[in-house]
Structures are given as C-alpha cells and as structure tokens.
C-alpha cells in the first residue's frame, strides 16, 4: 500500500500549491521513490473542459483524453508521474457518481449524505487513482483554501484517511502565507496561526508547514510558528518567493524537507539526489547569455494562467538552446487595430496557440501572414494551425473568404470543417477529439528533423479538422502536409516549403514538454528564432 501525503492551503489562494506538490513529487522521485499526484478540485463542474480560460486558466489534457486542471501540467513537467483521468477529482465527478449509484438503487433504504457517502466516494476515488501502479507515495493536493465551504467534504475525507491509515502512512502538509508588513517592517505569523487553527477545527493536525513569504524566516519566527501551530520547529519550512519555479525542489532539499518526509512516513532513500535537475535545468538557465524574443498571439493574454503550458514549453526550448526568452504577450485584437508590423516588428519568432470562438481570429490571421511574408519562424498550435491554413487559402491560393465553419458556417471555402462524427454531437462536456492520437511524419521535413522519428503520438483537444478536399490546391501552392493521422487520414502537421521555419500542428505539443526534456518542436522553433535577426 502506498503512503499518502495530503497537501492543503491556507490564508489566500494562488500560493502555488500545485508547484509545491509537484516539487515535493520531484524531491521524492529524486530519492528513488515511485509517486503519483492527484488534484482534488472542490467545484461542481465535472471537469474544467467547459470553463472559460478567463475563469479557470488553461485546460490541461492528458494522454487518456481527460480535460483537467492546469496543476496536472506542473505534476508532469516536474516529475515522471503519468497522470490521467483518475488524477483529477472534482466535486462534480464525486456527486455525479454518488447520484448515479443512488438512481440505480445501490443505497436502497438509506438516506444518502455528505458523510459517509460523499466522503466514502472521495476516499475510494483517491485510492483507485493509484491502484495497480506499484507506487511508494501518493501526493494528494486539495484545491481551494481551508475555510471554504465547498472543500469541506474533501477535508473531512482526508481527515478520515489520515486516521484510518495511521500516522506512518499518511501525513499532512499545509501551505500557508507569512506576510511581511512593510510599514511595520515585520513578518506576521497570525494568518498562519488562524489557518492552522481552522484546519485543527476540522480535525487535521499538519505535520509540516510550508510558509510562503517574501522575506526569509529566521529561527525565532519559525519557533513561534511551531509553538502556536503545534508542529516541530524543524517542520516549519520556508518557501521564499522565487523568480524561477524550477528552483523550488532545490530550496526544499536544502532545508531537509526530503529527510523530514521520509522520517515521517517511515521510508528509506534508495538512491539519487537533484544534481541532474540542477545541472540540466537551473545551471543552463542561469548561464544562458542571449535573449530571444517570441510573440504569443492569444485572446486570453491578460490572464497569466491561460497559456501556462505554452509559456513553460517556450522556456524549455530556451533551456535547450542556452537562451533566455522574452515572451511578448499580444492580444490578437491589438493586431487587428494597429497592424501586424507595429506589433511584431521586433520579434524573432511568432507563436499562435489554440483557442475557441471567432473573437481574435482575424488578428491571428494577420500575424501569420506577417510571419509567412517576412520569413519569421512560426509555430502554430491547434487553432494556430487552422488559422495558418485559412491565411494560406485566402492569401496564397486566392480562395476569397476561406474560413473555418466554426467562424462562418456559410463560407464558400470551408478549409477547416467538422467531421461527420462531430456534427452529431450535442453535449459540450468531454466530446471533442481528446487525448493521444498517432501521427506519421514525412521526411525530409522540419518536423522529422525535430522528432527524428516517423511515428509519434501527441495530445489533442479540438472539434474542427483540415478539410481534405483542399489538400491538392494547397499543396500545389507550397503548403506541405507533413503529418497525418494514419487511422483516419487527418492532417496533423503542415509546413511551408519556402520559409526558414514554419510549422503548425493540430495537436498540443506543449503538454509533453519538460524543462529537462524540451519538446522537439519547441526546441527547434526557439533554435530557428534565436538565429533570426
Ligand atoms: N476551436 C478549434 C477546434 O475546436 C481549435 C481548438 C483548439 O485550438 N484547442 O477545432
């Protein structure tokens, strides 16, 4: 049976619980332990797939086709854990399952209640996520902040699990804020005391406190927090604000969090440390001397979290090429207003990410035209590929008003359209083409030199497809179809022949990039961009 580490958060949201959980996962893996990480989200949506990116940030897609919370992206970027459907548990999923059981008559005669039925379902889904995987440790992150009404059933479930499994098998880590009050020039422990007080009211005594702060915590402050929160002073760990998230596992290691956790759960280190991570990620990032400027043209640009995996994958491409990145986040409507030249004149590479709905599409098309004509390295992803196809159809093939039927149902040239199987679908949740699908790559092409293999698998999240009726005319004008899904003959990757680096894919490569294993397309996109002047 695996050991469990439950991670809760207090005082305020956005303290970086996801990154903290991923960093703890990394730390445990570096000691030779096999782990997985689960995210519990207390909202009622079954998954975040139906939420607007402005509400929720990016929807992260797994190999098995789950639309999940973006924290699962951190888990996969930091660790080797392969996460899937079972790793994101929402209140929606829990209630859905309990209500379906009730309708089938499985609780016949009983009143169905939060305790024990909802809490039992939470416990069983947590346990199921690690079944048969031969894991040493399961990390469970509880979304939200202690004190929220909607997270209470999850808190109660982990309280029960901690008690049932016993202290050597289940521990609690609480991430909290220790603010610095400028005018008083003092670090304040009271919010943390209150937050832990709230946890203890629910019946959870944290074993370790991770204290987010902008100033380093001295011994006295740590001792005070320890005394008031009923934890050992060595278990008060500083989590100083960091410029670089990939340094966080190293700061935990320095403070002995690895040994502390192992002692508490009674496991032994088998081998290893974080030396490779330090060398391959941190040292290379710190040593990079050049800067490459990349424009990301999106429509949810003002929210930092909307394109999380894209920004991270770009940084990974930078690490591989020993360059720092300056990412210019450009709202596509600004391009429509001010023109591509004004917005893009000093960038070295242009990326158009995925998206839904008509707003912003024309600005993206203008940016792509600019990249094509001025031979600026270009990477298009999902909607970025679809808009590249529209741009090429309109401006190179002369197909006036070519469009995707997503934006204009009556377009004379539906170069992007729905497959028959998608036309029948009425429900929105979980019904796109989701998850891993195969792609065969033609050679010699830029994509083949990036991947160095003919058969790849990548993650998808879309409804619309390249319309194969336009293949011939596009190819005759220089649009090279270099990647195909062999089972359904769907276009997966396009390139432009007469261009230094213009690659666009229907899938989302950003979901499979890691700082120490950058995705080949991002690596080569940054390489080409860093050479563009
Ligand atoms: N809206 C497009 C589709 O559904 C593209 C989706 C995306 O970019 N993820 O096909």
- Using CA atoms, how far residue 491 sits from 25, 372, 441, 470, 472, in Å, is 37, 20, 11, 11, 13
Q: What is the per-residue pLDDT for 67?
A: 96
Q: What is the per-residue pLDDT for 268?
A: 83
Rounded CA separation 341/345 (Å):
5
Q: Is the pLDDT of residue 443 over 80?
A: yes
Stretch 208-221: mean pLDDT, rounded? 94
pLDDT bracket for residue 132 (50, 70, 90): confident
Q: What is the per-residue pLDDT for 38?
A: 97
Probe target for ligand 1 pocket from 356, 361, 368, 467, with the most ligand atoms within 8 Å of CB? 356
- Which residue has the CA at smallest separation from atom 6 of ligand 1? 462
Q: What is the per-residue pLDDT for 302?
A: 81
Distance from Cα 356 to the centre of ligand 1, integer Å: 5
Probe target for ligand 1 pocket from 385, 435, 462, with the most ligand atoms within 8 Å of CB? 462
- Which residue has the CA at smallest separation from atom 3 of ligand 1? 462
Q: Is the pLDDT of residue 263 over 90?
A: yes
Q: Beta-strand (E) ranges in 74-164? A: 88-90, 137-142
Distance from Cα 380 to the centre of ligand 1, integer Å: 12
Probe target for ligand 1 pocket from 464, 467, 491, with the most ligand atoms within 8 Å of CB? 464
Q: What is the per-residue pLDDT for 487?
A: 95
Q: What is the per-residue pLDDT for 112?
A: 96
Q: What is the per-residue pLDDT for 270?
A: 74
Distance from Cα 176 to the centre of ligand 1, integer Å: 37
- Which residue has the CA at smallest separation from atom 8 of ligand 1? 354
Superfamily of domain 3-22+34-240: P-loop containing nucleotide triphosphate hydrolases (3.40.50.300)
Rounded CA separation 126/7 (Å):
13
- Using CA atoms, how far residue 356 sits from 361, 425, 462, 481, in Å, is 9, 17, 9, 23
CA 103, 107, 108, 113 torsion-angle sign = negative
Q: What percent of the chain has pLDDT over 70?
A: 100
Decide if 3-22+34-240 and 289-530 have a common fold: yes
For residue 514, give every residue at least 6 positions away whose Cβ sits within 8 Å of its Cβ, in sequence order, or none: 76, 77, 78, 316
Stretch 277-302: mean pLDDT, rounded? 93
- CB atoms closer than 10 angstroms to residue 208: 22
Q: What is the per-residue pLDDT for 220?
A: 94
- CB atoms closer than 10 angstroms to residue 405: 16
Q: What is the per-residue pLDDT for 273?
A: 85
Q: Is the pLDDT of residue 427 over 90?
A: no
* DSSP state string for 11-29: SSS-S-HHHHHHHHHHHHH
Q: Is the pLDDT of residue 34 over 80?
A: yes
Stretch 508-531: mean pLDDT, rounded? 97
pLDDT bracket for residue 528 (50, 70, 90): very high
- Residue-wise pLDDT for 463-496, tens only, equals 999 999 999 999 999 999 999 999 999 999 999 9
CA 157, 129, 307, 366 torsion-angle sign = negative
pLDDT bracket for residue 93 (50, 70, 90): very high
- Residue-wise pLDDT for 346-405, tens only, equals 999 999 999 999 999 999 999 999 999 999 999 999 999 999 999 999 999 999 999 999
Q: Catalytic residue numbers? A: 382, 508, 510
Q: What is the per-residue pLDDT for 145?
A: 95
- Which residue has the CA at smallest separation from atom 9 of ligand 1? 354
- Residue-wise pLDDT for 168-190, tens only, equals 999 999 999 999 999 989 999 99
Q: What is the per-residue pLDDT for 219?
A: 93
Q: What is the per-residue pLDDT for 52?
A: 84
- Residue-wise pLDDT for 51-60, tens only, equals 888 888 899 9
Rounded CA separation 304/292 (Å):
20
Q: What is the per-residue pLDDT for 423?
A: 81
Rounded CA separation 13/4 (Å):
23
Q: What is the per-residue pLDDT for 190?
A: 95
- Residue-wise pLDDT for 308-336, tens only, equals 999 999 999 999 999 999 999 999 999 99
Q: What is the per-residue pLDDT for 41?
A: 96
- Residue-wise pLDDT for 64-82, tens only, equals 999 999 999 999 999 999 8
Among candidate residues 432, 483, 436, 443, the one with its CA nearest the CA of residue 457: 436
Q: What is the 3-state secondary structure (H, E, C) of 308-323?
A: HHHHHHHHHHHHHCCE
The rounded radius of gyration (Å) of the Cα atoms in the chain is 25
Q: What is the per-residue pLDDT for 301?
A: 86
Structural domain spans, the chain:
3-22+34-240, 289-530
Q: What is the per-residue pLDDT for 13?
A: 85
Lowest mean pLDDT among 56-70, 265-279, 406-420: 265-279
Q: Which residues line ligand 1 (CB under 6 A)?
A: 354-356, 382-383, 386, 406, 461-464
Pairwise pLDDT comparison (394 vs 108), residue with the higher score = 394
Stretch 144-161: mean pLDDT, rounded? 96
pLDDT bracket for residue 105 (50, 70, 90): very high
Q: What is the per-residue pLDDT for 436?
A: 97
Q: Is the pLDDT of residue 36 over 90?
A: yes
The residues with which 349 forms a beta bridge, in sequence order, are: 294
Q: Is the pLDDT of residue 269 over 90?
A: no
Q: What is the per-residue pLDDT for 51?
A: 87
For residue 423, what is the enclosing H or E element?
A: helix 420-423
Distance from Cα 5 to the centre of ligand 1, integer Å: 37
Q: Are 144 and 9 in contact (CB under 8 A)?
A: yes
pLDDT bracket for residue 426 (50, 70, 90): confident
Q: Is the pLDDT of residue 422 over 90?
A: no
289-530 folds as Rossmann fold (3.40.50)
Q: What percent of the chain has pLDDT over 90?
A: 89
Distance from Cα 383 to the centre of ligand 1, integer Å: 5
Rounded CA separation 219/225 (Å):
10
Among candidate residues 435, 439, 488, the one with its CA nearest the CA of residue 462: 435
pLDDT bracket for residue 425 (50, 70, 90): confident
Q: Are 294 and 325 in contact (CB under 8 A)?
A: yes
């Amino acid at each position: 049976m695996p050991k469990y580490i439950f991670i809760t958060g207090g005082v305020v949201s956005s303290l970086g619980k996801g990154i903290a959980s991923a960093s703890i996962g990394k730390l445990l893996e570096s000691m030779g332990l096999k782990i997985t990480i689960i995210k519990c989200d207390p909202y009622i949506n079954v998954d975040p797939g139906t939420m607007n990116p402005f509400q929720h940030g990016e929807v992260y897609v797994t190999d098995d086709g789950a639309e999940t919370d973006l924290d699962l992206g951190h888990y996969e970027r930091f660790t080797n854990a392969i996460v899937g459907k079972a790793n994101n548990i929402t209140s929606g999923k829990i209630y859905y399952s309990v209500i379906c059981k009730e309708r089938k008559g499985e609780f016949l005669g009983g009143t169905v209640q939060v305790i024990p039925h909802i809490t039992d379902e939470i416990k069983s889904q947590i346990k199921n996520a690690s079944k048969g995987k031969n894991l040493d440790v399961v990390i469970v992150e509880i979304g939200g902040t202690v004190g929220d009404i909607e997270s209470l059933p999850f808190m109660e479930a982990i309280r029960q699990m901690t008690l049932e499994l016993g202290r050597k098998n289940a521990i609690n880590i609480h991430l909290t804020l220790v603010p610095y009050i400028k005018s008083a020039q003092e670090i304040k422990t009271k919010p943390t005391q209150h937050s832990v007080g709230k946890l203890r009211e629910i019946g959870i005594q944290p074993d370790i406190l991770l204290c987010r702060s902008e100033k380093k915590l001295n011994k006295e402050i740590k001792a005070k927090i320890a005394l008031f929160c009923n934890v050992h002073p060595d278990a008060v760990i500083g989590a100083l604000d960091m410029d670089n998230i990939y340094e966080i596992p190293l700061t935990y290691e320095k403070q002995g969090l690895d040994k502390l956790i192992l002692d508490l759960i009674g496991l032994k280190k088998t081998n290893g440390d974080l030396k490779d991570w330090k060398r391959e990620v941190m040292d290379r990032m710190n040593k990079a001397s050049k800067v490459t400027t990349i424009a990301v043209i999106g429509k949810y640009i003002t929210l930092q979290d909307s394109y999380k995996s894209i920004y991270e994958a770009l940084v990974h491409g930078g690490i591989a090429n020993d360059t720092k990145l300056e990412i210019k986040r450009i709202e596509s409507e600004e391009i429509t207003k001010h023109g591509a030249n004004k917005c893009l004149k000093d960038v070295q590479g242009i990326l158009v990410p995925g998206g839904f709905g008509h707003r912003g599409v024309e600005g993206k098309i203008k940016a792509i035209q600019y990249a094509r004509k001025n031979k600026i390295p270009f990477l298009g992803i999902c909607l970025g590929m679809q808009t590249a196809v529209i741009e090429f159809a309109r401006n190179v093939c002369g197909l006036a008003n070519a469009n995707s039927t997503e934006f204009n149902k009556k377009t004379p040239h539906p170069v992007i359209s729905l497959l028959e199987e998608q036309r029948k679908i009425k429900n929105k949740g979980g019904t796109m083409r989701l998850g891993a699908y195969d792609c065969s790559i033609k050679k010699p092409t830029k994509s083949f030199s990036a991947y160095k293999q003919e058969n790849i698998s990548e993650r998808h999240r879309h409804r619309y497809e390249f319309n194969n009726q336009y293949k011939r005319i596009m190819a005759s004008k220089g649009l090279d179809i270099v990647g195909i899904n062999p089972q359904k003959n769907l276009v997966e990757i396009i390139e432009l022949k007469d261009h230094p680096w213009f690659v666009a894919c229907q899938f989302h490569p950003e979901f499979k990039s890691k700082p120490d294993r950058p995705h080949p397309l991002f690596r080569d996109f940054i390489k080409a961009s860093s050479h563009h002047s």
